[in-house]
Amino acid sequence: MFAGLAALLALALTAAACGSDSDGGGSNGAAGASPTTSAGGTLTVADAGFTESKILAEMYAAVLEKAGYKVDRTSVQQTELAQSSLEKGTVDAMPQYVATYADLLNSKVHGPDASSVSSPDLQKSLAALRPLAAGLGLTVLDPADAVDQNAFAVSKSFATQHNLKTLADLGSSGQTVKIAAGPECETRPFCQPGLEKTYGIKISEIVKTGVDTPQTKAAVKDGTAQLGLVLTTDATVTDYDLVVLTDDKKLQNADNLVPIVNTKSLTPQISAALNKLAPVLTTADLAELNKKVDAQREKPAAVAKEYLKSKGLLS
């Protein structure tokens, strides 16, 4: 989502970095028009086809079912189709990422050359997103505390050796580093150019291992690279004896998870049900949920319901 590359990949439907395409455990048929969206009617909730999106969509489905709706689940694995389905109401609700979705809709409304409207500031990104969504017949509900962003990790030994806790520490250390990442890192403003401009980090080479892949984390662990591009919702970073350096100057945009709902489908009951997730779901929680699905091979629907029960959101 490069503004939160995980989110960008989610919307581009190449989101391998965010997790595998695991079985959602729901009734994943093709999205069809909802017969009704009054209480007790039927809603369609979609995901973008990768683990994190599936887990969120299963959460949406579970709380909506508790609110009295019958929920059909589907995966929509093409950006244009997902957006069209939301606007038409053949999909009633779908998880998205605030900053990346704001830029996506801005490009849709104002053309592909439109300047970015996203920001590291969540409220500014929301202020840009909400009118864009409203103009397309969509409503942006409350964003969760959970945010999926680029993150940069070093080995614990490298951090200790150079007294590193933040990206600013790395810049001021004067160390020249190789970065394990995707080839796009060279030109993306939230990767190499941003690290150099915002933090003064000296990057000599991109080791092309991909975004948040096992190969990226292994390269940093064994010293092939000193810095690796991972994601804030990856709970396996510590398994490689790595630590994430804090983005203390807020290079990354506010890609908080947020429910997007077709406005004609929306009711107070839907808003109330989905908004209950906002103050509960954290980045650390989402990382652990992703790990349960991707590493422990649990089903997204089961993981989602277990989490909601633990937070008192399901009886």
pLDDT in tens, 130-151: 999 999 999 999 999 999 999 9
- With 0-12 / 13-18 / 19 or more C-beta atoms within 10 angstroms meaning exposed / middle / buried, residue 255 is buried
Q: Residue 89 domain-assigned? A: yes
Q: Residue 137 domain-assigned? A: yes
Model pLDDT, residue 245? 98
- Residue at which a domain ends, from 245, 264, 288: 245
The span from the CA of 58 to the CA of 164, in Å, is 38
Q: Is 124 found in the same domain as 74?
A: yes
Q: For residue 292, how far is the Cα from the chain centroid?
A: 17
Q: In the chain, what is the straight-line distance between the N-terminal and C-terminal CA atoms, in Å?
A: 33
Q: For residue 204, how far is the Cα from the chain centroid?
A: 29
Model pLDDT, residue 23? 42
The span from the CA of 44 to the CA of 33, in Å, is 8
Residue 237 has pLDDT above 70, yes or no: yes
What ranges make up the beta strands (E) of the chain?
Answer: 42-47, 70-75, 93-97, 138-140, 150-155, 176-181, 202-208, 227-231, 242-245, 257-262
Q: Is 143 found in the same domain as 159?
A: no
The span from the CA of 259 to the CA of 257, in Å, is 7
* Confidence grade of residue 226 (pLDDT, cut at 50, 70, 90): very high
Q: Is 140 found in the same domain as 10?
A: yes
Model pLDDT, residue 149? 94
The answer to whether the CB of 144 falls within 8 A of the CB of 308 is no
Q: What is the pTM of this model?
A: 0.82
Q: The domain that contains 104 carries what CATH number?
A: 3.40.190.10
Residue 308 has pLDDT above 80, yes or no: yes
> Looking at residues 111-120, what average pLDDT do you find?
93
Q: Is 264 found in the same domain as 206?
A: no
The span from the CA of 228 to the CA of 208, in Å, is 10
Token pair of 254 as six digits: 């506010």
The answer to whether the CB of 11 falls within 8 A of the CB of 49 is no
Full domain range(s) for residue 102: 5-147+253-310
Q: Is 171 found in the same domain as 119?
A: no
The span from the CA of 63 to the CA of 152, in Å, is 34
The span from the CA of 279 to the CA of 257, in Å, is 11
Q: Give pLDDT tens digits for 51-74.
A: 999 999 999 999 999 999 999 999
Q: Is 208 found in the same domain as 297?
A: no
Residue 223 has pLDDT above 90, yes or no: yes
Model pLDDT, residue 315? 78
Domains: count for the chain: 2
Cα dihedral 173, 207, 287, 93, rounded to 10, equals: 120
Residue 9 has pLDDT above 90, yes or no: no
Q: Is 166 found in the same domain as 67?
A: no
- Residue at which a domain ends, from 228, 245, 262: 245
The span from the CA of 11 to the CA of 16, in Å, is 12
Q: Is 176 found in the same domain as 103?
A: no
Q: Is 119 found in the same domain as 11?
A: yes
Q: For residue 157, how far is the Cα from the chain centroid?
A: 29
Model pLDDT, residue 94? 98
Q: What are phi and psi of 127, to 5 degrees?
A: -65, -30
* Confidence grade of residue 37 (pLDDT, cut at 50, 70, 90): very low
Q: Residue 315 domain-assigned? A: no
Handedness of CA 117, 121, 124, 127 (dihedral sign): positive
Q: Is 87 found in the same domain as 203?
A: no
Q: The domain that contains 156 carries what CATH number?
A: 3.40.190.120
Q: Is 279 found in the same domain as 209?
A: no
* Confidence grade of residue 24 (pLDDT, cut at 50, 70, 90): very low
Q: Residue 215 domain-assigned? A: yes
Per the prediction, the chain carries an average pLDDT of 89
Residue 8 has pLDDT above 50, yes or no: no
Residue 25 has pLDDT above 90, yes or no: no
The answer to whether the CB of 130 falls within 8 A of the CB of 144 is no
Q: Is 128 found in the same domain as 270?
A: yes
Cβ-proximal residues to 127 (8 Å cutoff; 6+ apart), any chain? none
Cα dihedral 223, 229, 232, 237, rounded to 10, equals: -20
Q: What is the DSSP letter of 239?
A: G
